[in-house]
Amino acid sequence: MPTTVPAFGNEAADRLASMADVTASDAALRRFLHGLPGVDAVGLQARAATLGTRSIKTTAKANAIDLAISMIDLTTLEGADTPGKVRALCAKGVNPDPTDRSVPKVAAICVYPDMVATAKEALGDSGVNVASVATAFPAGRAALPVKLADTRDAVEAGADEIDMVIDRGAFLCGRYLEVFEEIKAVKEACRRADGTAAHLKVIFETGELQTYDNVRRASWLAMLAGGDFIKTSTGKVAVNATPPVTLLMLEAVRDFRDAVGVQVGVKPAGGIRTTKDAIKYLVMVNETLGDEWLTADWFRFGASSLLNDLLMQRHKLSTGRYSGPDYVTVD
């Protein structure tokens, strides 16, 4: 039996079952989550800042840029989204630079549930996934049956991945078991008729959870409930992904794998716009988790404008000059 199994595999359920005692009741779950080691905010921020000073140049930079492109969930989540806009984004995701076929494709296109079918059709067998936000994204303020219907709708339309939001209200009230059960229910709703399932990303909206201790608790809560990925933010509030929050979540998935033997992915989202920022995140993954997480299966960037900056930097590295925003496509 392997020491580590992926969260999205069938064996993960057995591993999670071994933790059933901590999720048996609200009280047990609270005791467990509050028994996790605390987070010293100053120390966490200092570590993230130090990792941010790594100097990534030449070949390492070229390598990092391609890696980052391949990890992007290229996102459009606007009320004004149209099938035309989604199709344009899909074309871009499959072939980010029309003048350079060596650019890798992105990991997924991330849309609202009603655009899933359009995206699925546009992407075809390109290998780029369709990710859909669901569960009354971004606020999550809807009844559970509505959230589950939202999820099933997206899965039926062909979504490969579901990005759900947790009920921050319940979490901040301390109703951890309620949040846990809801994630489990959404995970169940991700199942398809053929027995496969869409991968589930659990969004915490860390800008609303506020404290680092809350982020660590939410991470363990989501992983215990079967989340395949843990994700920082919706991109819809004032504070989205930050390096310290992401570092903390990387530490949480590391600790979870050590303790439970299940590997979970991490997705920072919102506010990551530049190549420089993206490389800082990759450095954090590299020095906290190493090779095993440095693929699109285990690390994603939720971003929209990041891709163009990566393309411009890629262009600059290969040609020695900066091409400017008119040389990448605006979608």
Partner 1 sequence: MKNTVFEYAPAPESRAIVDIAPSYGLFIDGEFADASDGKVFKTVSPSSEEVLSEVAQASTEDVDRAVRAARRAFEAWSALPGSERAKYLFRIARIIQERSRELAVLESLDNGKPIRESRDADLPLVAAHFFYYAGWADKLPYAGFGSNPRPLGVAGQVIPWNFPLLMLAWKIAPALAAGNTVVLKPAETTPLSALFFADICRQAGLPKGVVNIITGDGSTGAALVGHEGIDKVAFTGSTEVGKAIARTVAGTDKKVTLELGGKAANIVFDDAPIDQAVEGIVNGIFFNQGHVCCAGSRLLVQESVADEVLESLKRRMSTLRVGDPLDKNTDIGAINSAEQLARIRELADAGEAEGAERWAPSCELPDSGFWFRPTVFTGVTQAHRIAREEVFGPVLSVLTFRTPAEAVEKANNTPYGLSAGIWTEKGSRILWMADQLRAGIVWANTFNKFDPASPFGGYKESGYGREGGRHGLEAYLASNPKASEK
Return d(Cα 205, Cα 321) in angstroms, integer. Answer: 38
User: Which one, 98 or 290, has the nearer CB to partner 1?
Assistant: 290
Stretch that binds partner 1, among 61-69, 77-85, 188-196, 218-226 (CB under 8 A): 61-69
- SS3 string, 54-120, reads CCCCHHHHHHHHHHHHHCEEEECCCCCCCHHHHHHHHHHHHCCCCCCCCCCCCCEEEECHHHHHHHH
User: Which one, 140 or 243, has the nearer CB to partner 1?
Assistant: 243
For 235, the token pair is 């991109």
Nearest Cα neighbor of 163 from 111, 201, 204, 117 is: 201
User: Which one, 137 or 281, has the nearer CB to partner 1?
Assistant: 281
Catalytic residue list contains 66? no
> Distance of alpha carbon 72 from its chain centroid, rounded?
9
Total site size for partner 1, rule CB under 8 A: 33
Catalytic residue list contains 187? no
Q: Is 98 in the site for partner 1 (CB under 8 A)?
A: no
Return d(Cα 149, Cα 167) in angstroms, integer. Answer: 16
For 192, the token pair is 């398809």
Stretch that binds partner 1, among 1-9, 200-208, 291-299, 319-327 (CB under 8 A): 291-299
From candidates 125, 194, 291, 326, binder to partner 1 by CB under 8 A: 291
Return d(Cα 88, Cα 228) in angstroms, integer. Answer: 28
CB of 243 to partner 1, least distance (A): 14
Q: Is 63 in the site for partner 1 (CB under 8 A)?
A: yes
From 97, 267, 277, 280, active-site residue? 267
For 284, the token pair is 């954090």
User: Which one, 226 or 243, has the nearer CB to partner 1?
Assistant: 243
Return d(Cα 179, Cα 285) in angstroms, integer. Answer: 27
User: Which one, 38 or 324, has the nearer CB to partner 1?
Assistant: 38
Q: Is 172 in the site for partner 1 (CB under 8 A)?
A: no
Phi, then psi, of 167 in degrees rounded to 5: -85, 95
Q: Judging by beta carbons within 10 Å of its beta carbon (0-12, 13-18, 19+), is residue 236 exposed, middle or buried?
A: middle
Phi, then psi, of 56 in degrees rounded to 5: -110, 110
Q: Judging by beta carbons within 10 Å of its beta carbon (0-12, 13-18, 19+), is residue 124 exposed, middle or buried?
A: exposed
Q: Is 64 in the site for partner 1 (CB under 8 A)?
A: yes
User: Which one, 112 or 212, has the nearer CB to partner 1?
Assistant: 212
Hey, which residues between 12 and 31 contact partner 1 (CB under 8 A)? none
Catalytic residue list contains 201? no
From candidates 205, 228, 251, 309, binder to partner 1 by CB under 8 A: 251
From candidates 67, 134, 303, 312, binder to partner 1 by CB under 8 A: 67
Q: Is 60 in the site for partner 1 (CB under 8 A)?
A: yes
CB neighbours of 169 closer than 8 A, spacing ≥ 6? Answer: 141
Q: Is 223 in the site for partner 1 (CB under 8 A)?
A: no
User: Which one, 177 or 266, has the nearer CB to partner 1?
Assistant: 266
CB of 65 to partner 1, least distance (A): 11
Residue 226 DSSP one-character state: T
Q: Is 289 in the site for partner 1 (CB under 8 A)?
A: yes
For 81, the token pair is 């989204």
Give residues in contact with partner 1 (CB under 8 A): 37-40, 42-44, 46-47, 53-61, 63-64, 67, 251, 282-283, 285-287, 289-292, 294-295
Enumerate the active-site residues.
163, 231, 267
